Amino acid sequence: MLVIRPIRESDYASLYQIACESGIGFTSLPVNEELLRSKITRAVRSFSRRAHKPGAESYLMVMEDTESGDVVGTCGIEACVGLTDAFYHYHVGQVVHSSRELKIHNMVETLTLCNDYTGAAELCTLFLRESHRKGLAGRLLSRSRMLLMAEHPELFGAPVIAEMRGVSDEHGRSPFWQWLEQHFFSMDFPTADYLTGIGQKVFIAELMPKYPIYVNLLSKAAQEVIGRVHEKTQPALQLLKTEGFRCKGYVDIFDAGPTVEAELSQIRSVRSSQRRHALLAEVDKGSLYMIANTQLAQYRCTLVEAVLDDETGAIVISPEVADVLCVKQGDPLRVLAVK
């Protein structure tokens, strides 16, 4: 059985391995022992204390295979971005150059550096190891965050965003960054990506062009990848689209990958999930449900067959599942039907 739970200090070795496997462009997990340990400590602290409003909390979780005890994936939520470090994006806009007398009308796309998403909650750090990229494991990993947010909406800022990994090759070369590197930065994409991942962002303000960039002045290769995602990110993007996330014209400043957003109350899994209480019994044949407990420090979420009893308002789960979810008879659960 696969279960999502808060990360622990003992998960460091697994998180380090995931960071190595995730590759260049996965900014939120740089291969840096001090930073990874700091991320774990921050997450442990966030889950253990009960915040009263969105703040600098980070809810990093892992997917564990209960049969082997192996950590096979990770996902996280930043409660409120941009409170301690500037949170940069490019906004894709337009300017018009027009002369009525000459009958000339040209519309040009621009990229303007901004901090418009300051205060938003961010879905982040989603990575599933190759061995488990099958079936519904990816959906469980991604949507487990939404059930947590549905149960504790007061902990998260608005809107909810997700930065999608942009186009880069197997060597970590980004066509978009190559143009910026040539004209402004003089450092390669892996270096810029790593510095951002470890929190050293001051170089962005120091070296990034201060005025809007005219897209038609970029190289053709750079223009073609604006708003596009890495091939390995396509499934994650598609899943978020089915949840109601949309791109509102913001892209990453390094690889130009799109940032998508949605209001928490309008996310499909949030709207469709229900509160039920647990009824423990053997389940012979049921339907597939994503089920989470309603706790924070001991949050658990899994995907199992269960039976919904509309007359009693209960969800029938086996004692084994109850143990995995850390619940007992009558405890509240958040339930999402999986089609």
Q: Give me the active site residues, please.
A: 230
Q: How many CB atoms lie within 10 A of CB 256?
A: 28
Contacts of 87 by beta carbon, 8 Å cutoff, 6+ apart: 81, 115, 117, 118
- How far apart CA 92 and CA 87 sit, in angstroms, is 16
Q: Tokens at residue 67, please? A: 């049969």
User: Cβ–Cβ contacts within 10 Å for residue 188, how many?
Assistant: 17
Work out the end-to-end distance of the chain between its first and last CA atoms, rounded to an integer number of angstroms: 19
Say if residues 196 and 27 touch (Cβ distance below 8 Å).
yes
Peptide bond just before 209 cis, omega within 30 deg:
no
| Contacts for 193 with CB less than 8 Å, ≥ 6 apart | 24, 25, 27, 30, 172, 254
Which single residue is written with the structure tokens 């290769």?
Answer: 221
Residue among 306, 304, 243 at smallest CA distance from 278: 306
Identify each DSSP E strand in 115-191 by its residue range.
121-128, 160-163
Residue with tokens 């599942």: 321
Which H helix or E strand runs over 4? strand 2-6
Selection from 251, 246, 320 nearest residue 280 by Cα: 320
Q: How far is CA 207 from CA 93, 135, 153, 187, in A?
A: 21, 44, 37, 11
